[in-house]
Structure 1
Amino acid sequence: MRTRLISALSVVAVSTLLLAGCAGAEPDASATGTPDAQGTCLLDAPSGDASDAIGVEGEGDDVTVTVPADLDFTDDIERTVLGSGSGDDVVSGDLVSVRYRIVDATDSSVLDTSAVGDGGVLPVLLDPQAASLFVAALECQPLGSRIVMTLPSSKLGEGQNPLVVYAEATEQLSTVATGDDVAPVDGMPTVEVAADGTPSITIPDADAPTETEVAVLKQGDGPTVGAGDYVVVQYLGVKWSDGTEFDSSWSRGAPAGFSTSGVVEGFRKALEGQQVGSQVVVKMPAADAYGEKSDDNTSELAGEALVFVVDILATTPMPAA
């Protein structure tokens, strides 16, 4: 999804190894770290001879990761904390800026790095389903901690070289839009926001939309979302016909991340061209949502005009193929 390596590795392989160890298990009160209501310590990998042997020199954008040529990997993921930060513990569900290097353990070559991001960091939503590599590295350690993690070939699939990950969560990012208020647009649904940022939508007494329209409610000043970019958002979706909620990241308790090319057309139009920190409201006809109802389209949302209010929290350009 987010980067060349994470799209190929994190979703398929590392998610499996991370989630398999905690599925159906109750949180362990004796585990290291203090998870909050958004997440638990899913793996809490211990240190070991392999992770302790990794050489890390420099700081910030100048970090160099060196793997000893004769390093003996075990079959377990190991994590060594090089330096403990002073912030709150990082847990699954958090949105953080991350400085990282991912290297091939066979020759210390850099496979992926956050150096392409502004200030040498990239935003990461710590979703176990989509970024579990970073969840495993950063979870239940204080913000600002410097961490190195070793992943043996046995955890990565047949034919994969072992990996070493250096990661540092540098900043906790907002999970609500932070932009300046913009005057509402006539004819658009109205949005009210609770103290915690949770929105509600009131549908106007008007005909359903025949084309997609977008209005900015808060104007952010962050990076602009480009075509096909990966975004992290909070959103609420309701039906135009009766105002009932059908989908909401707020109801699930954590932001959502995805590519703008992986959503319905009206949602894509609402995101692309907007700046991080903005909140937008979009109304769309069924044609730009889930299509008209037919024998071949029996979705519950088929034929429904929809409204979304979206807080745009982060964006990362998708790499070239």
Structure 2
Amino acid sequence: MNMNMIKKWKLPCLLLMSNAVFGYNFEEVTPESFMQGLDQLFTGYSVNPDMVTRYLTGLSHLSSGLVDHPETQKILNAFEQKKSATQCEQYDSQTTYKDDEQTYCDKILNEIAGNYLTMFGLDSFKNPYIAATLSYITPNDKMSLHNHLNNNAVMVVLKGELRSLNFDIVSPERQSKVTVQKNKDMWLREGEVSYFSVARDNLHEIHTAGESAIFLSIYTDISDSYDFDTPKGSLKRSQVPTTHGSRERYDAGWSGNQSQKQPQLLRLIIDESGAMLAVPFHPDTDAELPAQ
């Protein structure tokens, strides 16, 4: 394919690529045509990384075609049977620490889905720059705020409904406390997609309401963008926002999984005598976050 032509791709071209160019409707998706679509999108993005939004839109469009695919439905049906037989939801509700020896729902789902992801080229054996997981969230639960520092990603809901929130850090990232701004707050139903990039909306938080949800996440690895001075992992944010124009902002702190090169987090306090002290900062406790 002519590389100059790829550089000139426009959004409508990407939106139509997975359908018109490969000549199938969503109900006619095959593993081969899906992988062709992935290859085209990765080729275009590698030639012109500035097209990240268009690339992610194309990947979202392509991925939504998997929702009603017979192989997807097989996975969901097999999981429902396993879930009932193992009572994994009960284990999930009783602990926040998932021991690998225990039977918890997310583990069961990904064991069932291993061959499915390979079939569609969504594993590192087929493509070293991509990773994908299926995730299960129990009713009235959440996946806490976290980042994927060196990944662009799309997330498509396969079953149920979930609330997806995306944030950006809008303060210096190497401080013990950061300020995050909420950019997206959406309820996604089956077949609907959200995405984030390395540069925007990379922090996200996921909630369910009265029903469980299953979603597919596809991550593109952009390894050379990793900044080892910035922590990677979960954050704890304040519950009450401040406002900045029409946007909500929250105080947040890193709650673990930090880069090895990240220095110990400290904050300054004034003791009863008026002296200023530097003390360890532990953002995984509510008391460490400033009152609103």
Same fold (TM over 0.5): no
Judging by fraction of residues, say which structure has more helix. 2
TM-score by length of 1: 0.27
